[in-house]
Amino acid sequence: MKLWNRNQRMNKALEIAVSIVYPRRCAICDEIVVPMGHLICDECRNRPAFVSGASCMKCGKPLRDSEQEYCADCMRTVHVFDRGYALFQYRSISGSLYRFKYMGRKEYADYYADEIVRKFGSMLRSLHPDALVPVPMYAAKERKRGYNQAEVLARAIGRRMEVPVETKVISRIRNTVPMKQLSETERRNNLKKAFNIARNDVKLLTIIVVDDIYTTGSTADEISREFRRAGVKHIYFLSLAIGQTS
Ligand SMILES: [Zn+2]
Ligand SMILES: [Zn+2]
């Protein structure tokens, strides 16, 4: 016990030393955060728009019409996953997400994960997930970027919730074209057989798939299809940000 406390103290000291050499940047505006120990600056607190009010019962997208139960996308498409949840409205946080994904700002995950756990923590716990599964990146692409942002996010959430993160169970076997350049049909074709269950002993009953962005759900469906085939019973999808319904 004594040793553990000592390690904890050392970790804290190390954290402070690191923050002096590499001051933490605000996950919203990217300026250096004052005071030390905060994850975003006070002025940025109200800048990201959370998904609030009426949202789609299937994918979690905010709805313009509170009388509706499902968004236009979910009325057109039968999704393979059970239910999706999303924290932010994409447009309000797009700059932050871009830096998190392409510019090495992995530290933003602490802020994102804190907010996800604050909003969804008890609900996610009530699902009794066996694992969090980040949407995998194509291996060569991940090597080039140095990290998979979905995995960085899943690990930050997993640490806070004490849920294991599974990265070996599924892999991306094809390098797909960036989705934003494609139409909905092209998106679905683009993803055909893009993922592969990498282990034949999947013993997971309930999983939460984690990604940074949810748009139409085609990625979520392709992954969920593989997991259904492997016998996973309950598949939820958690995204940091979600687009407005089309
Ligand atoms: Zn800021
Ligand atoms: Zn929906």
Q: Domain map of the chain by residue range?
A: 1-47, 48-242
* For the chain, percent of residues with pLDDT exceeding 70: 96
In the predicted model, is pLDDT for residue 106 greater than 90?
yes
> Cα separation of 192 and 152, whole Å?
25
Give residue-wise pLDDT tens across range 188-202.
Answer: 777 778 899 987 777
Q: Which residue has the higher pLDDT, 107 or 198?
A: 107
Ion ligand 2: residues, Cβ under 5 Å: 56, 58-59, 61, 71, 74
Structure tokens at 136: 């995998």
| pLDDT score recorded for residue 245 | 60
Among candidate residues 189, 195, 191, the one with its CA nearest the CA of residue 226: 195
In the predicted model, is pLDDT for residue 111 greater than 60?
yes
Residues 118/170/204/156 CA torsion (nearest 10 deg)? -20
Give residue-wise pLDDT tens across range 69-85.
Answer: 999 999 999 999 999 99
Ligand nearest to the CA of 237: 2
Structure tokens at 111: 């802020």
Mean pLDDT along residues 142-160 = 97
> Cα separation of 216 and 132, whole Å?
21
Ligand nearest to the CA of 245: 2
Q: Where are the beta strands (DSSP E) in 50-202?
A: 83-89, 131-134, 170-172, 195-197
SS3 content of the chain, % helix, strand, coil (to 5): 40, 15, 40
Ligand nearest to the CA of 38: 1
| pLDDT score recorded for residue 3 | 61
Calculate how far, in angstroms, residue 28's C-alpha sits from the geometric centre of ligand 1: 5
Q: Which uninterrupted H or E stretch holds 240?
A: strand 234-242
Structure tokens at 19: 């923050």
Calculate how far, in angstroms, residue 103's C-alpha sits from the geometric centre of ligand 2: 30
Residue 163 pLDDT grade (very low, low, confident, very high; cuts 50, 70, 90): very high
Q: Which residue has the higher pLDDT, 162 or 17?
A: 162
Mean pLDDT of the chain: 90
Instruction: Among 134-138, 140-144, 192-196, name the one with the lowest average pLDDT.
Output: 192-196
Give residue-wise pLDDT tens across range 29-73.
Answer: 999 998 888 999 999 999 999 999 899 999 999 998 888 899 999
Calculate how far, in angstroms, residue 100's C-alpha sits from the geometric centre of ligand 1: 14
- Print burial letters for 165-201: b (CB count within 10 Å at least 16), e (below 16): bbbebbbbeeebeebeebeeeebbebbeebbebeeee
> Cα separation of 112 and 87, whole Å?
9
> Cα separation of 99 and 103, whole Å?
5
Q: Strands 170-172 and 195-197, how do they pair? A: antiparallel
Residue 4 pLDDT grade (very low, low, confident, very high; cuts 50, 70, 90): low
In the predicted model, is pLDDT for residue 1 greater than 50?
no
Residue 239 pLDDT grade (very low, low, confident, very high; cuts 50, 70, 90): very high
Calculate how far, in angstroms, residue 47's C-alpha sits from the geometric centre of ligand 1: 9
Phi and psi angles of residue 221, each rounded to the nearest 5 degrees, phi first: -70, -40
In the predicted model, is pLDDT for residue 87 greater than 50?
yes
Ligand nearest to the CA of 45: 1
Q: Which residue has the higher pLDDT, 27 or 178?
A: 27
| pLDDT score recorded for residue 169 | 94
Ligand nearest to the CA of 62: 2
Q: Which uninterrupted H or E stretch holds 221?
A: helix 218-229
* For the chain, percent of residues with pLDDT exceeding 90: 72
Ligand nearest to the CA of 85: 2
